Every structure is written in C-alpha cells, then in structure tokens.
Structure 1
Amino acid sequence: MVRLVFHPLFFIPCFFATGPAMAQYRKMFEERRVIGQIFDRIEPVVETGAHGFFQLLHHQPIAFVLLALALGALIGKLNIKGISLGSTAGTLLVGIIISMSAEAIYGITYSIPGILSSFMLLLFMYALGLKVGPQFFSGLRKGGLAFMGIGIIVWVLNWVICYFGAMLVGLAPGYATGLISGSYTITAILGVGQGALSSGAYVPPVGMTIEEVGANMAAAYAISYVLSSIGIILLIRYLPRMFGRDAKADAIIAEAEYSGGAQHPVPGAPHALTMGFSPYDLRAFVVTHDKFDGRTLSQLAHDFPKVPILRVVRDGAILDLENDPVITRNDIVTVRANVHDLILEEDELIGPESDSSLARNVMLEVADIHVTSRAITGKTFEELARHGTAGVEVQALFRAGNELPVGPASTMLVGDVLRVTGPDIALKAAARHIGGHAILPTLKSEVLYLALAMLVGYLVGIVTVHISGIPFSLGTSAGCILAGVGVSYFRSRNPEFGGPVHEGARSFLQDFGLNAFVAVLSANVGPKVISALGGDTILWLALIGTVGALLPPFIAFWVGIKFFGLNSIIADGATTGGRNSTPGLNAIIEESGSSIAAVPYPVSYALTTVLALIGGYFSMILT
C-alpha cells in the first residue's frame, strides 16, 4: 500500500514567505498535489498475505489476466503420457481456480469488463481468418454440405440431451435453457430465454417468479459452461487420436487437398515471402575467357539466360549494373545458377573461381510481383529471362489465386503474380519490366487494414433481424473471421493490398487474443459457479451439461469421417464449429500443427449459432 502524508508544518512557512521564497513553496505544493492525485487513483490494498494478494488482483484486473496467462501457459505445457491441456485450457482452469478461491475464502467477487474479452476474441478470429482465407472458398466447394450436416448433428443432439435430460430428472423451469446455453458456450441463449420470460411467451408456474426462473438459468449456465469449456478443448484436441488418426499427418494431407496441390503459399499469405531451399547457388569467378571479355551485361544475359550475373567487382569496387557495364578481363562476376551446372560448366566458361567476400556477399530476397504490363502477356519465362529479368529466379506463378506449374514454356497474363528471388536491384528491375512493383518481406504492422477490416466485420456481425421475437445475426466473431478471410482472399490476387502478412505478428494475435479472452471469461464465471453450488441439483447440472457438451461432437466427428469420408482434421474443424467452440479450434490447431481445421469452422459455426438461438427460445417456452 502506498500512503502519501502531508505534514501540517509544511504550510506554516507559506504564510510568512514572500517573493522568490513564496514562489518556491507554491511550486513544491503544486508538485505534491499532483503526486497526490496520481496515488489517489491507485486502489489501496489494506490486507496482507493471501487475502492481500486476492485483493490486489481484484483492484488490478490486468494483473489477474497476466497471472492467468502466465500460469496457464506453464500448466498447458505439462505433458502426462502424451496428454496435455494446452495454453487455452490451462489459462481457463487457472483463472477459474483463482476467482473461485477469492469468492469462497475471502468473499471477493472478480468482475472484469467484458469489452476486453470481446475485443481479444475478435482479434483472434481476424488473425485466424487471415491464415485460412485462401482455402476457405475451396473448402466450401469441397465439403460445404458435409460441414453443415455435422453442425446440425451437434445442435440436435445437444438440444435433445439438455432439454429432455432436465425434464427426466425433474429440474425446475429455466434449468434446461441454462444447460443448453452453458453446454453450447453461447451466452446469447440466456438472453433469448430471458426475452421469452419478459415478453410473456413463457409464464412461470404458480408460486414461482420470473426472477427465480432467471436464477435457475444462470446457475445451470455457470456450472455447464465451466465443465464444457474445459472438456470440449480436450475432446476436440484428441478426437483424431481416439479414432486412431495421426493429427499431424492428416493435417499435411488436408493442406495438400485443400490447396489444390500447390507447393507455395499464395500471395499475401503467412510464410509467402519466406526464403526456402533452392538448388541455385552463388559462385564468383574471375573473367579470363574471351566469351565474357568485352561483352555488355545485357548481351551476356541474352546469351546465357540460365546463368545471370548478380554483381561485378572491378579493382575492389562494385559496379552499378543499371548502367549495363562492359565486362573486362580480370573482373570478378557473381553468378547464380543450378549448383550442378556451376560445378561442371562455368569454371571452364568464365574463368577460375574467386573467394572474394565482396563478390560473394550478395543478399538474396524473395518478392511477389503483380503482372500489370500487357506488353509481356503471352510471353514465356524463357523469353522473359532474356529481356529485363536477368538475375532473378521464378519460384512460383499464381493466377486468380491458384498456383500453376512453372517451366520454360509457361506463359504469363496480366493479373498473374510471380514469386521471384534475387538481389534487390534485380527484383526491382524485373518489377519495372513486368509493370508492377516488388512486394518484399516487411516487419511493418498493418494496423490500418486490420482496423478497417475488423470494423466492417464487426458492423456486419451486429446487424440483427427479429423474427417472432427471436433475434438473428451473424455474430461479431463470425463477422471478424470472415473479414480476415476476405482480406486474405483478396491479397492472394492483389498482393499490393496491405501485404504481406508477417506470420510472427499474425500468430501472436491469434494466440494472445484467445488466451486473454479466456482469462477474462474465467474471472467472471468463477463467482457464478460458487453461487450455483449446493444440493443434488448441481450434480444433475454437471452430468447433463457435460454429456450435452461432449457426446454430440463425438458422434458428429464419427459421422464426419465414416459417412462423409472427411479427413479427420477437417471433420474436427467442422465439429468444433458446430459446437461453437473457438478454444476447441485452437486446441486442434495446436495438436495438428496446422490451421487447416479452420477451413470448415465458419460454415458450421454460422449455421449452428442461428439454430442454437432458435432452440434456446423454444426450450424456454416448451418448459
């Protein structure tokens, strides 16, 4: 605790001081007053020990979130016989334990503003959309009906288990709706149920008030929400393993299937501009042969297109290649070509090899170039290599977002995107010739595109249509993931549009966003669990809620791989979308080492969100 004390004697000299002394006292007083205002804003911690610790977390919610993130990540790494919680489930568990302990032992109720968790969840969804955008539409074409079928199976089974389960054991009105809401982890279902109460669509039985029904809904929601949130993460994570599938191997197969056989990430996608393995190498030679001596750089590029010259060193200085210099004897030239060709041929063609560090120290980069010049439409790569693109090597060719085979006879069209490697000067020269500009890797943030895209997705998501008193909307989470999908999809055809995505930044947004959302959620849910404890009712709520949360996705996954013939990772992504479990999606992404599970997720997610709200409304009025 910080305590600021003002001694009364401090003010005595002020009454007798004049001139400069008075000004000095006034300055001292103003400084102390400002300091006092600062410390007045810090909530005091008046207790010591554990009580003081929990009180500190109550007054400083950011400290609670950071502590839950740190301990959750630590616990999530623990591996017992091949099974681990993962960072998301670990954070949720730690946060609930802390908030429940504070409530049960010291009567401290944590409540963190929901805007923080909502914003973090939207960041996660947008970052995920950026990752899977190029594969999303091909996923719809390949298995859209299967994805929707899996979502419907999850929804129907969940509603039947929760509604009829509550009826069979004789639970009071409100519990069934709360169970559906909590086991489905859709808080909006509570709002739909409350709307049925306030509108008079459901009238409580004699002797029971609307407030009591609402309390029953909240209690069932709290118990089932906590259990289902942890359970679904573990279930989704290990579903492929339960059915004898290798998650990582199946993810690789799914990525190949949904990428259409492409070997390189599409323009604008994560890792698109990562320099990978290449059979081409750099070598430096001293010019001694007549075929090189006295020829200009452009002439050599025309005669030897497969062996581009990247640098010329003369008398210890690097020549400017843009001036098309004439190569003379004893110049050192740096060439790039297939290692096999360099070893067997070039020593005899150019001259002896040089170990000059000035000649060999050429930084190679990878870039995407959007073809905009109609003058080169229809030209082959072989023709291109002879005119204006010396020094670059084509890695991949993309047309309408799809990768095409690359060979000497491959032709280019306006709108194509070339992925090339080479030194910076050669990349820029090639871009000018093709009509575009080189899109190079960057560490710059894309806050402008992120904010605008998320804003559009958010506004689309909050658009609500009421039909018979039931609100229908896409939802802000679905809106933001589709915004990310749209940006990524557009970039695959127009890499200049805010690209490229820096994978480190995108991955951080994805991981931190979801785990911070879960940390805030755990703080707010924990106290509700305490209030719902007591009697046999809690046992039935725990049992029905857990079964309703886990059995439907288990069956839907089985249907997905057995009847629809889906890849296990794709079926898992559709299943967790049908269960509306974003943490579950993150769990299978971690387990498989791939984001391909997110391809079917928005399809089943959007469908079951609407169905779950309808089901929640009818579970209330039919009680």
Structure 2
Amino acid sequence: MGIVRDHPELALFLCLALGYLVGKLRVGPITLGGICGTLIVSLLIGTRHVTVDDDVKTVFFALFIFSLGYLAGPQFFANLNRRSLRFLVLCLIELVCVLGIAFGLAKAFDLDVGTASGILAGAATESAVVGTATEAIGKLNGLTSAQVTQYQGHVATAYTVCYLFGLVTIVLYTSQIMPMLMRINLADASRELWENMRGGVRGLESDEREALPSTVGRTYLVTLADGLRIGELKAVRSGRVTVEGVKRGSALLKPSPDLQLTLSDLVQLVGRRSRIIEAGREIGPETPSVPGLDVPLATRQVAVTEKATAGSSIARMEQDHPEFLQDGVYVTDVLRNDQHLPASAETTVQRGDVLTLVGARSGLDRLVAKIGAVVKNDATDFIYLGLGIVAGSLLGQIVVHFGDIPMSLGTGGGCLVSGLLFGWFRSRKQTFGAFPPQAANTLKDLGLAVFIACTGLTAGPQAWPLLKEYGALLPFAGIAMVLIPATISLVVGRKLLHIEKPTLIGAIAGQQCSTPAITSITQVAQSSVPLLGYTITYALSNFLLPLTGPILVGVLGAG
C-alpha cells in the first residue's frame, strides 16, 4: 500500500476501476451500480489511511451537481404547472417522509449528525445528499476538525449500508410487489394504456419493429390524372400528401401547384400510408423506385422552443400547425433528458424536449422554423459551463439564519440551483450554451464517482466502529425509508390522484431518483410507458432531495 499512499491519483483511479467492476456484479435483477461499488472499494482502501486532497472532492462534486441540475432543469421548470401538480405531491411525500424518519431515528437512537445524514442519503438512494450533507457538516459551528472528519466519515459508511438495502427494496417493491398489490400484469397494463393513448393501435413488443411504417414515399404513373394540375388533386388539396417530384421523360420538373400532369408522368408522393393509397387511386398504378425521382425523407432533431407548443399533446400540436399534414411531417420520437418517450398522440410536449421529425425536406424546414431550433450539440460551450459553476459557488456562500439555525445551500446546493437555471435557460432557445447530453452525463458520472471515492477513502478508518455500533439499525432504516413513502404514494396516487397504474409505478421510482428501479420496471413492463411518470418526479426530486442534506444537518446541528 506504500505506493498507493504516496500517489493519491493512483488510489483514486484504482477505486473507480475496481468499484465499477464490483458494481457490475448481479444478483437476479439487482446490480449494485458503479457508485455503490466505488464507495465499498474506497472504504476498504481507506482503512489503510490513503487520502486525497479535499479540494479534489469539492471540484468534482461541483461538476457533478451542476451537470445534474443542467440536465434536469428544462423538465423541472416545465413540470411546475397544474397538470403536474399531482406528481409534485408524490415528491413532497418522499421529502417529508425521509426527513421525518431520519430525524426521528436520530432522536430515538441518539445518532450523530453524520450517521443520520448517511441514513437519509442511502435509504433515499440519492447520492447527491452525501455531498450536500458532508459539506453542511463542515460548516457547523462548535465542532472540532476531528469531529468534522469523524461525522463526515459516518455519512459515507451509513450511506453505503443503507443504500444496499434501499436499492434492493425499491427495485423489488416497484417492479415486482406493486403490480401484485394493484392486481395487474404490468406488461399487459402498460400495453393497454399505450394503445389507449394511440387511439387503439396495438403497441409493439420489445423485439418487434413496424412491418409497415406509417410514413412512406411512393411513386405513381399518371393514367387517371391526365390534364389535372397538382393543386387540383384531392389528396394534395386536402393536405393529406405532398408531391415531392415529377418526372416527364428524362426531365425532372418542379412540383408547383400549377404544374399540369400529362399521361405517363411519374409522380412521387410522401405522407401517411393510408393517405398515399387514397392519392394513388386518383393518379394511377404504383411503380417501382425511379432513379432521380426517389427523393429521401429528411430527419431533423428539433428542440421545442415555441411557448404555445409547450404543454400541448402531439395531437394538439399537429392541429395547431397545419404544416404537419400539408407538408407531410411526422413526429417519430420524443427525447426528454436522456429518456425516449412514446411518440403517441397523447404524449405531452414540454419546452426543451427534442422531437425527431421526419418528412419531405421542404415542409420540414418550414415547420422547424416555427416550433423550435435544430439541436446543435456538437461541442461544449465552456464559457457557459464555467459561468454556471461560478454562479452556483457564489450562491452557495450565502447564509440565512432561521432563529439559531444557520442555513446555507453550500457549493453543492448552489451549483444545483444554477444548473437548473442555466439548463432551463439554454433549453428555451438552443442556439447557445451547448452542453451535449453525452458530455453532461459523462461529467455527472465522473464527478460523482470521484467525489464518492474521495469520501470513502477519508471515511475508511471510521467505518468499522460505526458498523459495530449501529449494524442492526442501518439495514432496518434502509428498508423502512423506502417502504413507508412508497406505500403512502401508492395509496395517494391511486385513491386521491387517480394516476394510471403503470405511470404511477414509474412515478414512485422517479420520486426516489432510482435509475435501477425504472430500468427493472421497463424490463418487466416491456414498454416505455412507465417513463411518462418517472421523468416528471425524477426531475422534481433531483432538485428537492439534495436539499434535505443541509436541512437535516442544520436542524440536528442546532439541537
């Protein structure tokens, strides 16, 4: 261990490599995940008194928490409306329950502030609380440096044990037990809900693809429409299809409304399959692909920036913008943060969502100019990123006193708030401040992993004494702090809020920010429908839960 102790960078990346290797271990549907694995490995290595400078931990935590806020910002603010109020109720249930239980356990068992905060972070499976609570402990008045180090170590140890039991509980409870309690087959219920959302169209299985895609291009030989102008075709005049090309002999003609068709012209149409078939009956027989006339459909990824579109369903958006029908443009995918939602008629579009639009190039360009901006996320804008973290760090230095209790967001809370604001502001018109999702997720994951490794190395010497003292309490707390808020949310969500069952299960996983849980749920459901609830509560809880760390530390520290 001598070389590891002398070279902290070696210890740090050794923790990451071994930790993510441990995190890949699978027991049934459960995997620990890289973060929990990293903490376990770093605690073990930390027992050999291997440390890394605290400034490294602070810098990487700022990167993590800002990236987290940046990714969640657009949906967090989009969900602050009446329609999402019922999902906010679930997040508030989670918030009140975990704070109340952690405070009650601290008073009942005389826990120190570090252990109580670690129980809160681990049982809620919210790694960001480790950072915000650890930072808040460092700012408590009346503690010696040895006590600060000891309590911060207790945060990491209690988090590790509670996280293991909390993770297993939330995954099994949401994906296996909740469907049984509601007496549903999750796969069948999700498929039925999706079909209802799509007007009765059957949903596809996970290994299926459309044999007959809805958006098509076809070429027809003019035999029935001889002498008609393009604008006189019923299907074109009603906005059902678009004419993308006309070939007369060897010449390619521009398909203007006044162009008169003649016998043996070849006409290429683009639109919905059913409309194309109807149009073909007006023109003549279908022909094979014609060289030079086979105009491909264009694809655009468009960030929704139009204020009137935000909050509308896809069906309503298509009604408000006739270009969808007139120019043959169709929504094939909805990307919210890093989650793909079903592009059904009932799916609500939020500002900042990225829509994949497919259609004829001319109509597509006109529509994009109206509803949003083409996403350009090819390089990170480090000016925007740097200013955001600076603003968050400054915000975190503000201290507000509630009686004798000093409350401060700290660097973590400040960067979270600034990340939310900077991410939301960027989403309104995505022509500046680029922070590609891949880059943001990489910085988020790396920042959290390095922070957890540093925390574990520091906490290593205090881990074993804490486990001997509270070994039986920690597993109980990890299970109870999952079951209580999740069960209350299940009852309230069904009986009072009337949330659809598959959506409710996803929302409960989201209120606890549990990615492993929603992964297991979607596997059981064989559908992305539960994500409709998950994305809303996940965005809200990602902001609310990290703030519980400073709140709990402030209340217990003042007592």
Q: State the TM-score, normalized to the length of structure 1.
A: 0.62
Tell me what 1:554 maps to: 483
Tell me what 1:472 maps to: 407
Structure 1 letter corresponding to 2:217: L
Structure 2 letter corresponding to 1:615: V
2:264 alignment partner, SS class: coil
Q: How does 1:410-425 map to 2 (within 5 A)?
A: 421-425=358-362
Cα drift, residue 601 of structure 1: 1.0
Tell me what 1:161 maps to: 105
Q: Please tell me whether the aligned partners of residues 135 and 410 of structure 2 are also in contact (alpha carbons under 8 angstroms).
A: no
1:182 alignment partner, SS class: helix
1:311 alignment partner, SS class: strand
* 1:506 maps to 2:443: no
Selected match of 1:178 from 105, 114, 136 = 114
Distance in 2 between residues matched to 1:471 and 1:329, nearest whole Å: 84
Distance in 1 between residues matched to 2:492 and 2:372, nearest whole Å: 47
Q: Please tell me whether the aligned partners of residues 64 and 444 of structure 2 are also in contact (alpha carbons under 8 angstroms).
A: yes
Distance in 2 between residues matched to 1:129 and 1:224, nearest whole Å: 30
2:437 alignment partner, SS class: helix
Tell me what 1:32 maps to: none
1:215/1:127 Cα in 2 relative to 1: closer, same or farther (>3 Å)? closer
Q: Please tell me whether the aligned partners of residues 461 and 477 of structure 1 are also in contact (alpha carbons under 8 angstroms).
A: yes
* 1:128 maps to 2:72: yes
Tell me what 1:85 maps to: 32
Distance in 2 between residues matched to 1:381 and 1:183, nearest whole Å: 48
* Higher Cα Rg, which structure: 1
Selected match of 2:161 from 209, 220, 227 = 227
Q: Please tell me whether the aligned partners of residues 134 and 488 of structure 1 are also in contact (alpha carbons under 8 angstroms).
A: no
1:425/1:438 Cα in 2 relative to 1: closer, same or farther (>3 Å)? farther
Selected match of 1:532 from 462, 468, 473 = 462
Tell me what 1:202 maps to: none
User: Residues 122-164 of structure 1: CA distance to partner in whole angstroms, max 9, x if unpaired?
Assistant: 2133223445654454575114445324322221221222333
Q: Please tell me whether the aligned partners of residues 245 and 253 of structure 2 are also in contact (alpha carbons under 8 angstroms).
A: yes
Cα drift, residue 598 of structure 1: 0.3
Distance in 2 between residues matched to 1:224 and 1:381, nearest whole Å: 51
Selected match of 1:109 from 36, 48, 51 = 51
User: Residues 200-230 of structure 1: CA distance to partner in whole angstroms, max 9, x if unpaired?
Assistant: xxxxxxxxxx566556534534432433344
Q: Please tell me whether the aligned partners of residues 93 and 230 of structure 1 are also in contact (alpha carbons under 8 angstroms).
A: no
2:179 alignment partner, SS class: coil
Cα drift, residue 431 of structure 1: 6.4
Tell me what 1:27 maps to: none
Q: Please tell me whether the aligned partners of residues 226 and 525 of structure 1 are also in contact (alpha carbons under 8 angstroms).
A: no
Distance in 2 between residues matched to 1:550 and 1:473, nearest whole Å: 30
User: Residues 275-305 of structure 1: CA distance to partner in whole angstroms, max 9, x if unpaired?
Assistant: 998523211123344x34463x445476463
Q: How does 1:280-359 map to 2 (within 5 A)?
A: 280-289=215-224, 291-293=225-227, 295=229, 297-300=230-233, 303=237, 305-316=239-250, 318-321=252-255, 325-340=259-274, 342-343=276-277, 346=280, 349-351=283-285, 353-359=287-293
Distance in 2 between residues matched to 1:388 and 1:221, nearest whole Å: 54
Structure 1 letter corresponding to 2:118: G
Distance in 1 between residues matched to 2:191 and 2:79, nearest whole Å: 9
1:545/1:358 Cα in 2 relative to 1: closer, same or farther (>3 Å)? same
Distance in 2 between residues matched to 1:340 and 1:278, nearest whole Å: 11
Q: Please tell me whether the aligned partners of residues 474 and 606 of structure 1 are also in contact (alpha carbons under 8 angstroms).
A: no
1:355 alignment partner, SS class: coil
Percent sequence identity over aligned pairs: 16
* 1:58 maps to 2:5: no
Q: Please tell me whether the aligned partners of residues 192 and 617 of structure 1 are also in contact (alpha carbons under 8 angstroms).
A: no
Structure 1 letter corresponding to 2:553: L
* 1:427 maps to 2:377: no
Q: Please tell me whether the aligned partners of residues 181 and 616 of structure 1 are also in contact (alpha carbons under 8 angstroms).
A: no
Per mean C-alpha deviation after superposition, the further-off stretch among 210-219 and 537-546 is 210-219
1:359 alignment partner, SS class: coil
Number of matched pairs: 491
Could you tell me which runs of 5 or more consecutive residues in structure 1 were left unpaired when the two chains were aligned.
1-49, 167-174, 200-209, 265-274, 374-379, 408-416, 577-583
* 1:615 maps to 2:555: yes
Q: How does 1:363-442 map to 2 (within 5 A)?
A: 363-366=297-300, 390-393=326-329, 421-429=358-366, 436=370, 439-440=373-374, 442=376
Q: Please tell me whether the aligned partners of residues 76 and 89 of structure 1 are also in contact (alpha carbons under 8 angstroms).
A: yes
Distance in 1 between residues matched to 2:74 and 2:459, nearest whole Å: 36
Tell me what 2:447 maps to: 517
Structure 2 letter corresponding to 1:464: V
2:220 alignment partner, SS class: strand
Distance in 2 between residues matched to 1:71 and 1:284, nearest whole Å: 58
Cα drift, residue 309 of structure 1: 0.6
User: Residues 518-564 of structure 1: CA distance to partner in whole angstroms, max 9, x if unpaired?
Assistant: 421343233334322666x6411444455445433332222222356
Distance in 2 between residues matched to 1:538 and 1:499, nearest whole Å: 49
